[in-house]
Amino acid sequence: MARCLLYEKKLPLNFWAEAVNTASYLINRMTSRVLADKTPYELWYGFKPSIDHLKVFGSICYVLKPEVRRRKLDQKVDIGIFIGYSTTSKAYKIYDLNSNKVVVARSVKVVENATWDWKNSSDVTGNNEQQSEWDAAENIDDQPVKGTRSLLDIYSRCNVVVAEPVDVEEATNSQVWIAAMKEELAMIDKNQTWMLVDRPTHKKNVFCWNSKKQYVVAHSTAEAEYITASVVAKQLIWLRKMLSDLDCNQQNPTTLFCDNTSAIVISKNSVFHDKTKHMKIKFHAIRQFQQEGELELCYCTSEDQLANFFTKPLAKTRFEDLRARIGMTSFGTKEEC
Predicted model pTM: 0.38
Sign of CA dihedral 224, 259, 273, 253: positive
Report the pLDDT value the prediction gives residue 161, as an integer from 0 to 100. Answer: 47
Alpha helices for the chain (secondary structure H): 2-8, 16-27, 40-45, 128-138, 151-161, 168-172, 175-191, 221-245, 261-268, 285-291, 308-311, 316-325
Checking if the pLDDT of 211 tops 70, the result is no
Give the residue-averaged pLDDT of 311-321: 81
Confidence of residue 332 (pLDDT cuts 50, 70, 90): low
The pLDDT tens digits for 254-290 are 888 888 888 888 887 766 566 677 777 777 888 888 8
| Cα 164 from chain centre | 31
Question: For every residue of 28-87, which 3-state class applies, written as one string?
Answer: CCCCECCCCCECHHHHHHCCCCCCCCCCCCCCEEEEECCHHHCCCCCCCEEEEEEEEECC
